[in-house]
Amino acid sequence: MKKGVRKIYTEVAHTYDFINHILTVGFDIYWRKKAAKNASEGAGTLWLDVCSGTGEMAQSLSRCAGSNVKIISLDFSFPMLLKALQKRRVKNITFIESEARRLPFPDATFDLLTISFATRNIDHKRDFLISHLREFLRVLKPGGRFVNLETSQPSSRLLRKFFHFYIRRIVRPVGTLISGSKAGYSYLSFTVPRFYSPEEFSSLLRESGFRKIDSQKLLFGVSAIHTAVK
Ligand SMILES: C[S@@+](CC[C@H](N)C(=O)[O-])C[C@H]1O[C@@H](n2cnc3c(N)ncnc32)[C@H](O)[C@@H]1O
């Protein structure tokens, strides 16, 4: 599946940002800003954004960062990273092409680790996701913070049904039409309805070894920001 995920991001890289912004009517931008602001408060000087894609989260972080902060933007898709590199230069960001499961850094390197709209991509199985979360924990310094922004599940049954309907009937065909990638938006419409509720994801973080876990629902639970500490 990993090869499949990488291939999908090769196909959608050129339209990824545009489709996100129109199909969330700009909420994705606002949510990343919110997560970045939250993440950056008192977060030390060395930050890692994993599965960074076109660098949207890394840029939001950079805008909140002081001049002494260094940000590493890591992704295994070269076309996605290339898009990030082509954007207006933002201070403090270094780009690395790498796999998130084995991060090329020693233990206890980072003060902050963020991931946005990508945890679903590594959720092939619960154990598999936990092994990634443990890898994130490994590279964080003791006391370092983890911030996860991801789609979630509204607690209202009616809203949840509407949200899944919107993903299947609007996001999937429109995304496919604009990007030309059927696989990309079928994958998205498969993973979004199956992802964890905020409570379930908090429990996964606990099981992976994080503490001080907190979650904030966004737009009635369509997305959520989780914060946790090593
Ligand atoms: C939905 S995009 C999210 C990009 C960005 N974080 C954002 O907020 O828009 C998911 C990204 O995760 C990357 N990705 C998925 N699995 C990965 C893995 N195992 N290692 C590294 N990158 C991965 C993909 O290449 C893609 O760029």
How long is the chain?
A: 230
Output the ligand 1 site: residues, CB below 6 A: 5, 9, 51-53, 56-57, 75-77, 80, 99-101, 116-118, 121-122
Residue 54 CA, ligand 1 centroid: distance in Å? 9
Q: Report the helix count and the strand count for the chain, using DSSP H and E.
A: 10, 7
Mutate to test the pocket of ligand 1, among 12, 51, 123 (most ligand atoms within 8 A of CB): 51
Residue 97 CA, ligand 1 centroid: distance in Å? 11
Amino acid identity, position 169: R
Residue found by looking up tokens 């500490």 in the block: 229
Contacts of 111 (CB under 8 A, 6+ apart): 43, 44, 45, 46, 47, 140, 141, 144, 145
Q: What is the pLDDT of residue 3?
A: 55
Q: Give the helix ranges, DSSP H, for 72-181.
A: 78-86, 126-139, 157-166, 172-179
Q: Give the helix ranges, DSSP H, for 14-87.
A: 16-23, 27-40, 56-64, 78-86
3-state secondary structure at position 25: coil
Residue with the nearest Cα to atom 10 of ligand 1?
A: 118
Q: What is the pLDDT of residue 200?
A: 96
Q: What is the pLDDT of residue 163?
A: 97
pLDDT in tens, 43-71: 899 999 999 999 999 999 999 998 899 99
pLDDT in tens, 138-186: 999 999 999 999 999 999 999 999 999 999 999 999 999 999 999 999 9
Alpha-carbon gap, residue 98 to 203, rounded angstroms: 27
pLDDT in tens, 99-141: 999 999 999 999 999 999 999 999 778 999 999 999 999 999 9
Measure Cα distances from 78 to 15, 31, 156, 217 in Å.
Answer: 15, 25, 39, 32
Residue 75 CA, ligand 1 centroid: distance in Å? 6
Q: What is the pLDDT of residue 43?
A: 85
Q: What is the pLDDT of residue 104?
A: 98
CB 8 within 8 A of CB 187: yes
CB 33 within 8 A of CB 27: no
Alpha-carbon gap, residue 42 to 44, rounded angstroms: 6
Q: What is the pLDDT of residue 91?
A: 74
Q: Does pLDDT of 1 surpass 80? A: no
Contacts 24+ apart (CB under 8 A), 191-194: 191/120, 191/121, 191/123, 192/120, 192/151, 192/164, 192/167, 193/164, 193/167, 193/168
Confidence band, pLDDT 50/70/90 cuts, at residue 89:
low
Residue with the nearest Cα to atom 12 of ligand 1?
A: 51
Indicate the pTM of the whole model.
0.96
